[in-house]
Amino acid sequence: MHHSALLNVMIAAARKAARSLKRDFGEVENLQVSLKGPANFVSAADRRAEETLYAELSKARPGYGFLGEEGGIREGDDKTHRWIVDPLDGTTNFLHGIPQFAISIGLEREGAIVAGLVYNPITEELFIAEKGKGAFLNDRRIRVAGRKNLSEAVLACGLAHLGHGDHPTVKRETGAMLGQVAGLRRFGAAALDLAFVAAGRFDGYWERSLSPWDLAAGIILVREAGGFVSDCDGGEAMLDKGEVAAGNETIRKEIVRVLKSA
């Protein structure tokens, strides 16, 4: 398949960072049995991956700004473009040898997300989208699922855990959703949750207490797959509020309705 120059840059950077993540993931499986566990090793792995992404992306597009989970904000001369990057989304999975994690790269132009990539180095599933050009999984066009009723829908969500998230809200909202859906999943990598919505695997997804790098790439994947994305109140402040509700327009609205009622 022919990709734009921009997507080629993003894909090349992701594949390079993926090689080191894949090696490190193999090592985690060995460290798993040690007493100290692989925690320190993993935080080095995602810093390494972010440096690779930064080096590759800024070589190809000098001047673009860069917001990464590990390194924070790096200003560029070009104030209209900014990469938003999570070098390893799904760290807890990675740390436990669970192959559900991804590199996530979004590109913002004048405040709007115009391209996104989510890549799982283990399954080698590559999700890409560019504004106005559709969303693709390994070069096959993807679409969000068409189901209109929550009663038939399988949704993904996030859960709070020790030291993270608003526990009472999560309990209320997941409690309210449980009785209304065909299935609720917690896979543990927000970027992949959104990519799976884009691919029609999940009918919808919502989560709070997220960061821009969890969301940027996935938002354009869902939109370019014909889906809709909002914050949990139905507004547009996903990145500012760090929350998301996604699906086809009917399911997204249903999610927001249930969250409001919770």
* Residues making contact with ligand IPD (CB under 6 A): 86, 88-92, 158, 188-190, 207, 209-210, 214
User: Of Ca ion, ligand IPD, none, which one sits near residue 43, judging by CB under 5 to 8 A according to partner kind?
Assistant: none
Nearer to ligand IPD, 86 or 108 (CB): 86
Query: By CB under 5 A, which span of 95-103, 108-116, 173-181, 213-221 interacts with Ca ion?
Result: 213-221
- Closest residue to Ca ion, Cβ-based? 89
User: Of Ca ion, ligand IPD, none, which one sits near residue 203, judging by CB under 5 to 8 A according to partner kind?
Assistant: none
Query: By CB under 5 A, which span of 10-18, 55-63, 69-77, 135-143 interacts with Ca ion?
Result: 69-77
Q: How far is the CB of 123 from ligand IPD (least distance, A)?
A: 16
Check residue 24 for interaction with Ca ion (CB under 5 A): no
Q: Burial, 3: exposed, middle or buried (Cβ in 10 Å; 0-12, 13-18, 19+)?
A: middle
Q: How far is the CB of 69 from Ca ion (least distance, A)?
A: 5
Give the whole-angstrom CA distance, residue 172 versus residue 75: 40
Both tokens assigned to 118:
């989510």
Give the whole-angstrom CA distance, residue 74 versus residue 72: 7
Check residue 69 for interaction with Ca ion (CB under 5 A): yes
Interface residue with Ca ion, options 24, 50, 56, 86 (CB under 5 A): 86
Nearer to ligand IPD, 121 or 188 (CB): 188
Give the whole-angstrom CA distance, residue 28 versus residue 20: 12
HSE-up of 70 (CA within 13 Å, CB side)? Answer: 20
- The strands making up 135-137's β-sheet, listed across from edge to edge, are 72-74, 64-68, 78-89, 102-109, 112-120, 125-130, 135-137, 140-141
Both tokens assigned to 2:
């022919």
Footprint of Ca ion (CB under 5 A): 69, 86, 88-89, 214
